[in-house]
């Protein structure tokens, strides 16, 4: 397994080694010990979630605050997504900056998203199944969102707006500049 620090501090792209032969492939997709050594902190994933989305579905940008803030390990078991994370840590030098990566069932990459980031993705394939391992249980009282179309963020969702399917809840999220200071 190979790990790559991304342009925003705390984000890690996990690249598993894929061993191919005439039968298909084998890959060790998660090694807690190796990832913990790389990030120099302990992880304790307690919940695993899966979502299924059609082409053009945008989910996000979501996060939870303290005491229910979550570190997430995101992967795609079927299809392809453009995965986007936004730094919402007010004291961070990269506050308001985002990072985008392609996750799919070919590269088998995973993205480690620490607390203090809003997360979202858009499905780029006919169907995409996204998996989330999280280190804190879901709690709707501490769930918030940032408007994925906030002009100040300049996120390129790749698709045209009329191709994007988004629910009313995500559409009605506030812009980052209007959000309070959150504790993580």
As annotated, the active-site residues are: 62, 132
Report how far residue 99's alpha carbon sits from residue 53's, in angstroms, rounded to the nearest whole number.
21
| Chain mean position to CA 37 | 21
CA distances to 115, 123, 150 from 145, in Å: 14, 18, 12
Q: Is 161 left (phi over 0), alpha (psi -120 to 50) or beta?
A: alpha
Residue 15 burial (CB < 10 Å; 0-12/13-18/19+)? middle
Tokens 């005491």 label which residue? 67
> CA 34, CA 37: separation in Å to the nearest integer?
5
Q: For residue 75, list its beta bridge partners.
A: 110, 131
Three-state secondary-structure class, residue 137: coil
């Amino acid at each position: 397994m190979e790990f790559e620090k991304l342009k925003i501090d705390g984000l890690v792209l996990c690249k598993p080694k894929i061993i191919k032969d005439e039968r298909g492939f084998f890959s060790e997709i998660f090694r807690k010990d190796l990832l913990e050594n790389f990030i120099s902190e302990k992880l304790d994933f307690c919940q695993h979630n899966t979502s299924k989305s059609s082409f053009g579905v945008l989910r996000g940008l979501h996060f939870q605050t303290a005491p229910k803030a979550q570190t997430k390990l995101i992967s795609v078991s079927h299809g392809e997504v453009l995965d986007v994370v936004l730094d919402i840590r007010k004291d961070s030098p990269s506050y308001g900056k985002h990072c985008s990566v392609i996750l799919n069932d070919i590269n088998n990459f995973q993205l480690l998203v620490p607390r203090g980031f809003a997360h979202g993705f858009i499905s780029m394939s006919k169907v995409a199944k996204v998996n989330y391992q999280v280190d804190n249980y879901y709690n709707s009282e501490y769930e918030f969102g940032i408007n994925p179309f906030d002009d100040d963020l300049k996120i390129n969702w790749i698709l045209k707006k009329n191709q994007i399917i988004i629910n009313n809840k995500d559409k009605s999220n506030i812009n980052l500049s209007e959000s309070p200071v959150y504790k993580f």
